[in-house]
């Protein structure tokens, strides 16, 4: 059945992949983006599709459209971008959630919130289950994003309880792939860009801190499966790859795959930067029949090819 679907942040890294997938499944897509971190290049190939509509819109203002489903992805997600204007970051998460939940309430649309593993902060429990409540510094430099996303989850569950809005909440762990912004300061894009340019690779801390990396196609599979999951299953549900890698292991693999001459340089760890981040995904396996399938090396090869295209273009 063809559905009318709104994707906020639809020109961003994840949003552009989601728009492409939903269009390929035969749906009618409205992509809303204010282009703070999104890019028209990410969706240029979709603009001639009669079932794709692009709106330049900021979710901190109400949006009046008629839709069946809403994927709320609007928010800068990398520290470089969300710390650039922290007040606006918090407003995007909180006021944006209010506006999109209000739209869902009016249209009786199902709504999915792209939340984040950042709600766990610098975790004292490892790996992280959905029941863990987190260890977040509410006045730190990352709080605009961490606490903004935590408040958005609060709003989603209050609209669910108070107004019976049909909600889905996913907590996204580190994701990578084509359409990443080369200047977003994230570890995968940083390392790949530096390796391709044969410049020193910046390693924060001692490089022993760990992350779990999910390829974007796997992540989008999980997102759509959550949206289509049984009524009454709200989440929150972790979507990410449970295989853990240290930053040193990641850098060495990228140097090998790019044939780079880059050397590692070590710098102090930024404030409140988590030392570990790894999802427990048993709930996603049970409720969504989902788990990631693309191994890190395979995903990195595809991502490196994308970055070669934009760096040498």
Length of the chain in terms of residues written: 313
Cβ(283)–Cβ(222) below 8 Å: no
Cα–Cα separations (whole angstroms), residue 271 to 87, 202, 205, 209, 222: 18, 16, 11, 14, 31
- Peptide bond preceding 127 in cis form (omega within 30 of 0): yes
* SS3 state at 20: helix
Calculate ∠ Cα 177-209-113, nearest 5°: 50
Cβ(219)–Cβ(239) below 8 Å: yes
Helix (H) or strand (E) run with residue 214 in it: strand 214-215
Contacts of 161 (CB under 8 A, 6+ apart): none
Cβ(101)–Cβ(111) below 8 Å: yes
Cβ(288)–Cβ(234) below 8 Å: no
Rounded Cα distance, 116 and 113, in Å: 9
Q: Which residue has the tokens 């029941």?
A: 131
Rounded Cα distance, 40 and 22, in Å: 18
- Does the annotation mark 176 as catalytic? no
Please state the separation of Cα 312 from the chain's center in Å.
26
- List the catalytic residue out of 120, 145, 176, 215: 145
Cα–Cα separations (whole angstroms), residue 159 to 97, 106, 164, 230: 10, 12, 6, 18
Rounded Cα distance, 74 and 15, in Å: 8
Structure token digits, residue 11: 């020109």
Residues marked active site are found at 145
């Amino acid at each position: 059945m063809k559905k009318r679907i709104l994707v906020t942040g639809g020109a961003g890294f994840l949003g552009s992949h989601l728009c492409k997938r939903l269009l390929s499944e035969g749906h009618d897509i409205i992509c809303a983006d204010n282009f703070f971190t999104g890019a028209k290049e990410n969706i240029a190939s979709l603009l001639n599709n009669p079932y794709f509509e692009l709106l330049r819109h900021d979710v901190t203002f109400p949006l009046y459209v008629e839709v069946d489903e809403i994927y709320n992805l609007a928010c800068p997600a990398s520290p470089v971008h969300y710390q650039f204007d922290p007040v606006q970051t918090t407003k995007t998460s909180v006021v944006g959630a209010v506006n999109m939940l209000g739209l869902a309430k009016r249209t009786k649309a199902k709504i999915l919130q792209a939340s984040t593993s950042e709600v766990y902060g610098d975790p004292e429990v490892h790996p992280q289950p959905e029941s863990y409540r987190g260890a977040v510094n509410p006045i730190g430099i990352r709080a605009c994003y961490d606490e903004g996303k935590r408040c958005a989850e609060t709003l989603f569950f209050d609209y669910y309880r108070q107004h019976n809005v049909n909600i889905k909440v996913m907590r996204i762990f580190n994701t990578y792939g084509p359409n990443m912004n080369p200047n977003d300061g994230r570890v995968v894009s940083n390392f790949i860009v530096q390796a391709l340019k044969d410049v020193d690779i910046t390693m924060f801390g001692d490089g022993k801190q760990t992350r779990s990396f999910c390829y974007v196609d796997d992540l989008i599979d999980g997102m759509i499966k959550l949206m289509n999951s049984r009524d009454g299953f709200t989440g929150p549900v972790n979507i990410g790859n449970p295989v853990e890698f240290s930053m040193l292991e990641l850098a060495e693999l990228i140097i090998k795959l790019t044939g780079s001459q880059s050397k590692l340089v070590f710098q102090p760890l930024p404030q409140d930067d988590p030392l570990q981040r790894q999802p427990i995904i048993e709930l996603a396996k049970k409720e969504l029949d989902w788990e990631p399938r693309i191994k890190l090396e395979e995903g990195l090869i595809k991502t490196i090819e994308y970055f070669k295209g934009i760096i040498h273009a």
